[in-house]
Structure 1
Amino acid sequence: MTRSLVVPARHRAHLTASDLHVARGGKPVLTGVDLTVSPGIRLGVVGENGRGKTTLLQALSGALAPDSGSVRLVGTFGVADQEMPIADDRTVGDLIDVELADARFAVAELDAATEALAEERPGAEERYATALAAAESLDAWDADRRVDLSLAALGAVADRSRPLATLSVGQRYRVRLACLLGAGHDLLLLDEPTNHLDAGGLAHLTTRLREYPGGVVLVSHDRALLSDVVTAVLDLDPTRDGRPRTYGGGYAGYREGRRAERERWLAEYREQQAEHQRLAGDLAAAQDRLSTGWRPAKGTGRHTRATRAPGLVRAVHRRQEDLEAHVVAVPEPPLRLEVPELPVMPGVTVLAAEDVTVGGRLTRPCSVSLRSGDRLVVTGANGAGKSTLLSLLAGALAPASGTVRRARAARVALLAQESPVSSRRSARDVHAAAVGELVVAGRLREAEVVSLARLGVLSAADARRRVSELSIGQQRRLDLALLLASRPHVVLLDEPTNHLSMTLVEELTEALTATGAAVVLATHDRQLLRDTADWPRLRL
């Protein structure tokens, strides 16, 4: 098959989607998506798990035909899916050759055109001009160097003879990402590109995307990457009219716009609910007057009673018609985390660890002292002992040396990295049982009990489901609810952003900043570290 010379569209490149709809198994996945991406636009795509982010990228790339709507793409593009399965004997070099094929062909075509020009063949000048324009537009001579730089910066395998099948999923992804960053496409479609990167790789990706001359569609839960890179955000989470929203002003503009949108949504919903309740009250009052209130005093003439009764009946009918005509058109807004007021012990050291160690897990003696309102961020490389230290503070682990002391009656709660074994009981029953045990043990007063519904972490329907049927993220939400329900004096959080939505993480961060309880946080999350930049640090 004859290969044609590819000339990137560059400033003419654009990607447009109009009113995209995709359903799977009869269930809507994407509803009314509109977007436009051109050079210099870096569009972040966000939303809870299952909102259709990956499906959207598939529709934009042409890998999936939408049920309705249209996609128009002008220019070259590269796609990085979350995973890159390999089932043949291709090598790292083969993958690089595929991604740089246009650049390689442009250089080869330019060499051939140069030879034709030297031999004064017919049409050689036009062929040479076309080949030169393509090679310059692709910056074809520098393509391999760009890929090599990205391979090194991302920690990817650079041995071109290495079979892809011998690499892990993460290693293959890094090779593919390096190729895309070096290929010079007009448009990049990236699905969770930070999943397999370390700090150095994250820094390189951030820099390259910020400098990228083409357009970018970036699906990510990484709030730091979104904050550093995107110029606009497409939010696929529910809205009052059921259609996605696009927010300008980068990630900060998205956060502010979404907050305002949610507040308007909640205000309209409450207003319509209040009106509905008022009409229901009017109907109940009219019905009450019809059954009792219309009867005149004893001795009143029959004519008077007969005259008043039809008017009351008509009033009841009017009230009933008003109520039936009033529809609460605004759907119930999404859940919002409501952290209860946590208790304090003024002037008391609620928790202290002195020179604690655990063999093979926390080898250097570590000391921590906490009073109500204290904040502490524990940092360090994987394996440094962050989780071990939090387990010691929570009392879930005994130190090999050193001591841990807690103030009398102080409640200490830990959100571990992973959820416990799933239960066949409903989330509501698990929550009620945990709270009941605390009350019976005298560690929690009845007046301090907070219902699962009030916390705003699970919908009523999800609260009735078995824990084993909940998603990982929903189980993590239940873990958080159990922690808050214990009304702790000390809150210990081990990688709290794992599996939680960006919205919930932001609400939790805001609540932790304001609480009077002591808070200890262990995390690698770059945005959470930024949000807590003024908290004291303990590096292990």
Structure 2
Amino acid sequence: MFTGPLSHARARAHLNATDLHLARGGRPVLTGVDLTVSPGVRLGVAGENGRGKTTLLQVLAGTLVPDAGTVHRSGTLGVAGQEMPIAADRTVGDLIDVELAQVRAVLRAFDEATIALAADHPEAAQAYTDALTAAEAVDAWNADRRVDVSLAALSAVTDRARPLATLSVGQRYRIRLACLLGAGHDLLLLDEPTNHLDADGLDHLTVKLREHPGGVVLVSHDRALLSDVATAILDLDPTIDGRARLYGGGYDGFREAQRAERERWETAHRDQSLERQRLAQDLSAAQNRLSTGWRPVKGTGKHTRATRAPALVRAVHRRQEALDAHVIDVPEPPLRFQMPPLEAPTGATLLRADDVVVRGRFETPCSVLLRGGERLVVTGPNGSGKSSLLAVLAGTLAPDAGTVQRGRGARVGLLAQESPPPTRRRAFEVYEAHAGTEGVGLARLGLLPADTAHRPVTELSIGQRRRLDLALLLAARPQVILLDEPTNHLSTTLVEELTDALATTGAAVVIATHDRRLLRDTAGWPRLRL
């Protein structure tokens, strides 16, 4: 933990947003967002792609003005957005200077105050005291050292003369992140900071954020980072009243509370829908009695018929009024993912690979044996050949050595890392063409709502196309499921539902992933490291 003046100064860190509203293109992006971040609070921001997470950070940083609501900030602010602050024709040192500009200014002010004090200028003592306090508040003299430590820990380039144009996007982002971790800001706003980090970099980021004595707002799809770092979660996904939800108890508390709230929402909507259905049935029955039931049996007098008909008419009117008065004011809750039944003969060999090799991808011979219901996690660093191995198992890539055999009639499905090029056909048409007449209906999977399913695939977001990819995989009712980085571009809610479903399906499952939370959730599965 930080000690001394730096930690005491963080008491000034404060960020408050009240009733934020913002729309783009006529579509609400932020609706009634409230949050408070004080020292020691690390707020994770969760939600599907397109729910306004990056927009919220821009509003909190002051680079975007909301349509309504207020934002108040106290203390220094460090922001890691998805745009770089300087052009690629500058150097690593230039980027560091930009990110440490406030530290540099504090040190210049201290130097000037020191010179003035030595010259015995009037009021020099107070100016020196103020400058010293400001420099101690950010531990300015150690800022460059802290940056150097983070540069090394994040495997970032340390040569300050190196032109940024010679670096990859990932390397530039690691430099900028190292600067923010070392600058001593009171408040940090971070947008997907785990992008481009390896395992050591992730560990360093986790430690630095947990040690940070100020406030943190963290937008991330990395469930492990949220689980390890966040003290509270702001959920921007749909709610029963349309407003964002703030949950305490860290990531696990968020998941538990979100599940409970979703169940209450579903119950309320179901109860109102059933009541409307009952009222409609009562009206239909009354209308039937009016058209047929008011006629008495043969031989009954005209007076009886005349007195019964008005009562039946009044009954129809009462039931029509009751139906008109009943409004379903609870919006339809979001879909839940429903894994279709996938069965495979227990103990029967579905897929077998013996000593397979793909030159340039993985050179060490690799063997895999899969029976019904078995599980396997494939791990290894980037470039170790995980995706290539799954492609070999799926039959989309021929090995340079070794053999692959499928059991008779075994169905094997692969969810690749990248979606195929999008088509102008509507999503449900693509699904129906793939599923055929025997496939599970798209609506039953709970992956795409009806309005999304009727849009051309070219108009879908990356996350929505990823959901369609998953639906296409399941439509073939595979007995062996091969998943290559299945958590990419999916919401935390869907990932949790998918993980639960994979644990119980009768199909054999192979997962290749870097996702640390998914690795934790599948800790009991056999491992194959490449």
Q: TM-score, normalised by structure 2?
A: 0.95
1:286-305 to 2 correspondences below 5 Å = 286-305=286-305
User: How far does residue 301 in structure 1 lie from its aligned partner after superposition?
Assistant: 0.7
User: Paired residue for 1:415?
Assistant: 415
Deviations along 1:451-475, whole A, 9 cap, x unmatched? 1110111111222222233222222
Look up the equivalent residue of 1:154 and give its one-letter code: L
Look up the equivalent residue of 1:50 and give its one-letter code: G
Deviations along 1:35-66, whole A, 9 cap, x unmatched? 00011000011111111111111111111111
Q: Secondary structure at the match of 1:204?
A: helix
- Aligned length, in residue pairs: 525
User: Paired residue for 1:391?
Assistant: 391
- Could you say what the CA RMSD is over the residues aligned between the two structures, in angstroms? 2.0
User: Paired residue for 1:75?
Assistant: 75
User: Paired residue for 1:486?
Assistant: 476
1:26-425 to 2 correspondences below 5 Å = 26-84=26-84, 86-87=86-87, 89-425=89-425
User: How far does residue 88 in structure 1 lie from its aligned partner after superposition?
Assistant: 7.3
Q: Identify which range, 290-299 or 154-163, moves more after superposition.
A: 154-163
Distance in 1 separating the partners of 2:394 and 2:167? 39
When residues 88 and 200 of structure 1 are mapped into structure 2, their CA distance, relative to the original with a 3 A threshold, is closer
User: Paired residue for 1:443?
Assistant: none
| Aligned mate of 2:465, from 470, 475, 479 | 475
Q: Is the 8 A contact 2:352 2:404 kept in 1?
A: yes
Distance in 2 separating the partners of 1:329 and 1:338? 26
Q: Secondary structure at the match of 1:347?
A: coil
Look up the equivalent residue of 1:243 and give its one-letter code: R
Q: Is the 8 A contact 1:86 1:165 kept in 2?
A: no
When residues 187 and 318 of structure 1 are mapped into structure 2, their CA distance, relative to the original with a 3 A threshold, is same
Q: Is the 8 A contact 1:390 1:494 kept in 2?
A: yes
**Tell me, which stretches of 5 or more residues in structure 1 are unaligned?**
1-6, 440-445
User: Paired residue for 2:3?
Assistant: none
Q: Is the 8 A contact 2:12 2:186 kept in 1?
A: no
When residues 110 and 389 of structure 1 are mapped into structure 2, their CA distance, relative to the original with a 3 A threshold, is closer
User: How far does residue 400 in structure 1 lie from its aligned partner after superposition?
Assistant: 2.9
Distance in 2 separating the partners of 1:361 and 1:99? 38
User: How far does residue 115 in structure 1 lie from its aligned partner after superposition?
Assistant: 4.3
Q: Is the 8 A contact 2:39 2:214 kept in 1?
A: yes
Distance in 1 separating the partners of 2:451 and 2:129? 65
| 2:520 pairs with 1:535 | no
Q: Is the 8 A contact 1:8 1:138 kept in 2?
A: no
| Aligned mate of 2:503, from 503, 513, 518 | 513
User: How far does residue 100 in structure 1 lie from its aligned partner after superposition?
Assistant: 2.6
Q: Secondary structure at the match of 1:516?
A: coil
| 2:495 pairs with 1:500 | no
Q: Is the 8 A contact 2:86 2:95 kept in 1?
A: no
Q: Is the 8 A contact 1:8 1:185 kept in 2?
A: no
User: How far does residue 244 in structure 1 lie from its aligned partner after superposition?
Assistant: 0.2
Q: Secondary structure at the match of 1:363?
A: strand
Distance in 2 separating the partners of 1:428 and 1:105? 58
User: How far does residue 345 in structure 1 lie from its aligned partner after superposition?
Assistant: 0.3
**Tell me, which stretches of 5 or more residues in structure 2 are unaligned?**
1-6
User: Paired residue for 2:4?
Assistant: none
| 2:449 pairs with 1:459 | yes
Distance in 1 separating the partners of 2:114 and 2:424? 73
Distance in 1 separating the partners of 2:191 and 2:247? 20
Q: Identify which range, 118-127 or 36-45, moves more after superposition.
A: 118-127
Distance in 2 separating the partners of 1:385 and 1:375? 19
Deviations along 1:130-172, whole A, 9 cap, x unmatched? 2222222121111110111111112222222233344333222
Q: Secondary structure at the match of 1:221?
A: coil
Deviations along 1:219-248, whole A, 9 cap, x unmatched? 111111111111001011110000000000
Look up the equivalent residue of 1:464 and give its one-letter code: H
